[in-house]
Structure 1
Amino acid sequence: MSTAGLLDAVQNDDVIIDCAVYRDGVRESTEHHTSALEEALAGLGDDDFLWIGIGNPRTDELERVAETLGLHPLAVEDALEAHQRPKVERYPDHIFMTLRSVSYSDDDITTHEVNIFMGKKFLLTVRHGGPDLKDARRSAENMIEPLSHGPTAALHAVVDTIVDRYEDVARELETDVEEVESSVFSSEFSNDSSRIYRLKRETLEFRRAVFPLRDPVERFATTSMPEDARPYFRDIGDHLARAAEAIDSIDKLLDNALNAHLAQLSVQQNEDMRKLTAGATIFAVPTAVAGVYGMNFEHMPELSWSFGYPLVVGLTAGVCLYIYRRFKRSGWL
């Protein structure tokens, strides 16, 4: 059996392990089972490394891989819990990194945790739901020269793929915010407050995925990584900065849209109250006249006058028309 490795097919329910040895940036294959891990590690040369991908692992599966790679138990526990804040932790012989992949659909942001272990001779990714990382692996494999620098290049490929998606989600959010703004300032009545609130909640979830990652990536770009790898992580830092700026901008736009929507509701209520007041004032005149004649007084001279009825009706209508014209000129109607 070859010492180079590809472990693509250990499948229990939705668990898939994909592992390959890279020699001078070129992928090599071997039998598809976890027992080949130790043999693959033992056969690594000075410039070779092992890239392992696990999706939705059970505890025993991850612990078996962790024992083979010599991973710290606290990091393994964090990787299993899948409710970690984005972070980077250093252990004696490997780095543990947690970040979140983000997807967006129908005003709903969904995040899934991705945990990464990077040692001198290996990179292990542990994914809990969300899209797979095959695109990151294929992208890295198409660039043989970077992969020849070891697991740091694989780490960059994974993080870069996830962070690039942040900018895509930010653009989709901005499009929805523009729709909300158009709806808020349209002439048609719409109930936008619920959608604005939902978008703000999703923006908060997006912020929790992006903002904690900026400091670790900044350290990667300045001190934590080899000199030749730092420019690649500076590029990721730039993408994170743009995503963070977009999130701040979206949040402010949503605040402004919500304030504008509430202001419009207040203006509309004031206009409705003015119309109701004007209408009540107009109808107060005939109500008062009807109230007087409804009291059945005996000594009312106009009752016996043939023009009394049309005179009272005409006078009442004239006063109502005068009040209506005054309200119309003042903008109350």
Structure 2
Amino acid sequence: MIIDCAVYRAGVRQDTASDRASLDAVLAELGGDDFLWIGINDPTENEMTEVGGALSLHPLAIEDALKAHQRPKVEQYSHHTLISLRTVIYSDDDITTNEVNIFLGAQYLLTVRHGGRDLKDARRTADKMIEHLSHGPTAALYAVVDSIVDQYERVAAELEIDVEEVESSVFSAENTNDSSRIYRLKRETLEFRRAVMPLRDPIQRFATGSMPSESQPYFRDISDHLTRAADAIDSVDHLLDNALNAHLAQLSVRQNEDMRKLTAGATLFAVPTAIAGIYGMNFTNMPELSWRYGYPLCLLLIAGLCGYVYARFKRSGWL
């Protein structure tokens, strides 16, 4: 459904109707740097076809906008540019991505959103930048893309906080099982990477020549933010690899410690078992069997040997 439709003349917003006849009339009256900004959320095929017909959008671009499974990309058509972006939401170790398709024409900007966070804040912010919007639809494009990329940085910061928690847990004295959370964070980081990395080259092109000269500094700013988000993703991924390796190494060390304790315990029991086994043999000529002090002496021998073995294991750190 069309959730917002307005004309910007000299950067000042003027609301307008969104039916086909009104769109055709508004587009016919636009001049100079005036432009039309339309926002659509989860459009039906009929809605997208009607708006696309009014704006003379390419049929393949309309098809891409209807199917919310596009890789982040920028495609140039004869009369407009299609920019596909991914919005990102992070909560409870889970990253959710949704799609926003943006059509940039000479005198219009069309945003087609499929779920996720709305773009009302970006539009309200842009509406206050009258001088900036007076430069045309590229200013509105900057406002939308900038709000999405800023969210990338916020998500990257939250991911870094969670990675620090994982590192603290891995290197704590407690016996924790962090492998499942590390794997989940790595999987979400991969999803985040798929949203961010494909945009770096197109945004860089916007910043260096594909946009009007007055808009290029703004897209250079977006490019810098996007680079910081990409660097944070690489850093998070690297730290998660290190945390997983450290966790597996600690599991191996703990297993070795458990095996040493089990070995030391088995050795302690082996000493009395060997002595008891010897004197448990049914031979006739065993002089100690008739000795009055043989039993207490045998117990003292067992206790002494066990104490000696225990002391040696304790000194070596096996117990």
TM score, norm. by length of structure 2: 0.98
Aligned partner (choices 103, 121, 124) of residue 89 of structure 2: 103
Aligned partner (choices 219, 244, 269) of residue 230 of structure 2: 244
Following superposition, the deviation at residue 211 of structure 1 comes to: 0.5
String of CA shifts for 1:55-85, please: whole Å, max 9, x gaps.
0111121111111110011111111111111
State the alpha-carbon separation in 1 of the partners of residues 19 and 147 from structure 2. Answer: 27
Q: 1:104-253 residue pairs with structure 2 within 5 A? A: 104-253=90-239
State the alpha-carbon separation in 1 of the partners of residues 114 and 147 from structure 2. Answer: 16
State the alpha-carbon separation in 2 of the partners of residues 287 and 57 from structure 1. Answer: 81
Q: 1:20-169 residue pairs with structure 2 within 5 A? A: 20-31=6-17, 33-169=19-155
Task: Please state if 1:276 is matched with 2:241.
Answer: no
Aligned to 2:297: 311
State the alpha-carbon separation in 1 of the partners of residues 19 and 302 from structure 2. Answer: 97
- The letter of the residue matching 2:257 is E
CA contact (8 A) 2:33 2:136 kept: yes
State the alpha-carbon separation in 1 of the partners of residues 56 and 22 from structure 2. Answer: 16
Do the aligned partners of residues 68 and 33 (structure 1) sit closer, same or farther apart at CA in structure 2, a change above 3 Å counting? closer
Aligned to 2:284: 298
Length, aligned pairs only? 319
String of CA shifts for 1:114-133, please: whole Å, max 9, x gaps.
00000001000000110000
Following superposition, the deviation at residue 32 of structure 1 comes to: 5.8
- The letter of the residue matching 2:38 is I
State the alpha-carbon separation in 1 of the partners of residues 2 and 107 from structure 2. Answer: 21
The answer to which of 123-132 and 290-299 deviates more is 290-299
- 1:57 match: secondary structure: coil
- The letter of the residue matching 1:260 is A
- The letter of the residue matching 2:36 is L
- The letter of the residue matching 1:320 is C
State the alpha-carbon separation in 2 of the partners of residues 31 and 127 from structure 1. Answer: 19
State the alpha-carbon separation in 1 of the partners of residues 222 and 20 from structure 2. Answer: 33
State the alpha-carbon separation in 1 of the partners of residues 20 and 6 from structure 2. Answer: 12
- The letter of the residue matching 1:295 is M
- 2:215 match: secondary structure: helix
Task: Please state if 1:17 is matched with 2:3.
Answer: yes
String of CA shifts for 1:181-219, please: whole Å, max 9, x gaps.
000000001000000000000001101111100000000
Following superposition, the deviation at residue 43 of structure 1 comes to: 2.1
The CA RMSD measured in Å over matched residues stands at 1.0
CA contact (8 A) 2:73 2:85 kept: yes
Aligned to 1:3: none
- 1:22 match: secondary structure: strand
- The letter of the residue matching 2:267 is T
TM score, norm. by length of structure 1: 0.94
String of CA shifts for 1:299-331, please: whole Å, max 9, x gaps.
221111111001111101111110110111111
Following superposition, the deviation at residue 171 of structure 1 comes to: 0.3
- 1:228 match: secondary structure: coil
Following superposition, the deviation at residue 298 of structure 1 comes to: 2.4
Following superposition, the deviation at residue 292 of structure 1 comes to: 1.9
